Amino acid sequence: MPQPASQSAPQPTSVQAQPCPLCAGAGGRVVFQDAHVRVVHVDEDPALPAFYRVIWQRHVREWSDLDEGAQIHCMRILTALERAMRATIAPDKINLASLGNMVPHLHWHVIARYTWDAYYPAPIWAAPHTRAEDAPTERLQGLQWLKDQRPQLEERMRSACAEAPALLE
Amino acid sequence: MPQPASQSAPQPTSVQAQPCPLCAGAGGRVVFQDAHVRVVHVDEDPALPAFYRVIWQRHVREWSDLDEGAQIHCMRILTALERAMRATIAPDKINLASLGNMVPHLHWHVIARYTWDAYYPAPIWAAPHTRAEDAPTERLQGLQWLKDQRPQLEERMRSACAEAPALLE
C-alpha cells in the first residue's frame, strides 16, 4: 500500500527512525550511474566478491511503484549486468532479488554464484555451509580470481549499462 | 552459461540428475497461465500463505536468456501480481527473487511479507526467528486472514495478468 505522507499511526516505513540510508548515501562503491539508477559494488561479505546492487535513485518502495518506462530501464540495467557477468566471470548461476525489508528503498541484488561458493546452492541469506577458515582450495582460488577479474568485469558493466537507452527522460 | 547437452564433465546443471521439475510438472497450483508464463501458488511453508511463483514456460536458465519482448511480458506479470497483492492483502513489503540455484529453470518468487511473519525482516531463506508453535496471536490471525483472502487475491491476480498484453506472439 502506498504510505500516506501525513498520518500519525505507525506505517511500515516508520520501522526506520533514521533517514533512508539509500537516500542519505550511495550504499556502496558506485560502478555506474545515470539519472535513474546507480549500480554499486557491495563489499559486505568476503565470501561474495561479485555482489552488486542496482539502486533506484528516487525513493520508491516497491517495484510496482515504477511506471512501465522506468521498469524497462531498470530491467535493461539488470540485463546488462547479467550479460557482463556471463561474458567475464561465467557464474554457475546469477541471483536477482528485490527484497527491501530492512531498507524499503527499491534496490536489486545481482549476485554471481558458483558451485564452490560458501552458500551454494542455498540463497546467500541462508547460513554458510562452511566457515571461512575451512574454505577449500578451490574456493580460495575462485575468490581470488573473482577479485582479479573485477576491473575487467566493471568496465564491461559500465559499457553495457551505458548502452541501455533510457525510456524515461 | 548455456549448458552443453552432451558432455561427461560435471556441469552446473548436472546437479540435477533428474529431468527439470519445472519442465516435468507445473511446480504448484496454477493460478494463471498463457503461452509464455504460468503463475503458481506455492504451498511449501505454512508460515508464508501468500507465496507465488512466476515460471517461464520454456526452459531457460537466466533472466538474460530472454529477449527484451519476453522480459517485458514477464515484468508485466510480476507487476500485475504485486498490484493485485497490494490491492487485496496490503503486504508490508513484497519480495521478488529469481535465484534458481536448485532448479535452474527461470522462475520468480513473489512473496507478500508482513512485519508479523515468522522471518521478518529477514529474507524467507533465513532461519525463522520463532518456531511455528510459538507463533503469537497476531501472526496466527494474520495467517488465517491471508488464507481467507486467497480466492479474492487470486481472482484479482488472474484479471491483472490477463490484462498484461503479450509482446511476443
Query: Percent of chain A at pLDDT above 70?
Result: 86
What average pLDDT does range A123-129 have in this prediction? 90
When pLDDT is cut at 50, 70 and 90, the band that residue B166 belongs to is low
> Would the CB atoms of B122 and A126 count as touching at under 8 Å?
no
Query: Percent of chain B at pLDDT above 70?
Result: 86
A21-163: CATH architecture: 2-Layer Sandwich (3.30)
When pLDDT is cut at 50, 70 and 90, the band that residue A130 belongs to is confident
A106 pLDDT above the threshold of 80: yes
B144 pLDDT above the threshold of 90: yes
Tell me what ipTM this predicted complex has.
Answer: 0.88
B145 pLDDT above the threshold of 80: yes
Distances (CA, A) of A16 to A101, A117, A136, B95: 11, 32, 39, 18
pLDDT of B146 reads: 98
What average pLDDT does range A83-93 have in this prediction? 98
- Judge whether A89 and A52 are in contact, CB under 8 Å: no
Query: Percent of chain B at pLDDT above 90?
Result: 79
Instruction: Identify from B61, B79, B85, B157 which residue to disrupt to test chain A contact, counting A C-beta atoms within 10 A and taking the largest count.
Output: B79
What average pLDDT does range A22-28 have in this prediction? 97
B113-133 pLDDT, tens per residue? 999 999 999 999 998 887 766
From A24's Cα to the closest Cα of chain B, the distance in A is 21
Q: Where are the domains of chain A?
A: 21-163
> Would the CB atoms of A97 and B100 count as touching at under 8 Å?
no
How far apart CA B103 and CA B15 sit, in angstroms, is: 9
Q: Is B18 left (phi over 0), alpha (psi -120 to 50) or beta?
A: beta
pLDDT of B133 reads: 67
Question: A65 CB near a chain B CB, below 8 Å?
Answer: no
How far apart CA B31 and CA B108 sit, in angstroms, is: 14
B3-29 pLDDT, tens per residue? 333 434 344 444 546 799 999 999 999
Average pLDDT, chain A: 89
Which residue is listed with cell 500485475?
B80
Side-chain half-sphere exposure of B59, counting CA atoms within 13 A: 12
From B73's Cα to the closest Cα of chain A, the distance in A is 11
Instruction: Identify from A96, A116, A124 which residue to disrupt to test chain B contact, counting B C-beta atoms within 10 A and taking the largest count.
Output: A96
pLDDT of A17 reads: 61
Contacts of A53 in chain B (CB under 8 A): none
Cell of B111: 512473496
Tell me which residues of chain A, numbers 83 to 102, contact chain B at a CB-CB cutoff of 8 Å: 83, 86, 90-102
B98 pLDDT above the threshold of 90: yes
B31-46 pLDDT, tens per residue? 999 999 999 999 999 9
pLDDT of B96 reads: 98
Question: B120 CB near a chain A CB, below 8 Å?
Answer: yes
Question: B5 CB near a chain A CB, below 8 Å?
Answer: no
What average pLDDT does range A110-124 have in this prediction? 96
What average pLDDT does range A32-55 have in this prediction? 96
Of the two residues B129 and A154, the one the predictor is more confident about is A154
Question: B57 CB near a chain A CB, below 8 Å?
Answer: no
pLDDT of B18 reads: 75
When pLDDT is cut at 50, 70 and 90, the band that residue A1 belongs to is very low
Question: A79 CB near a chain B CB, below 8 Å?
Answer: yes
Hey, how many other C-beta atoms are within 10 angstroms of the C-beta on B18? 7
Cell of B157: 491476480
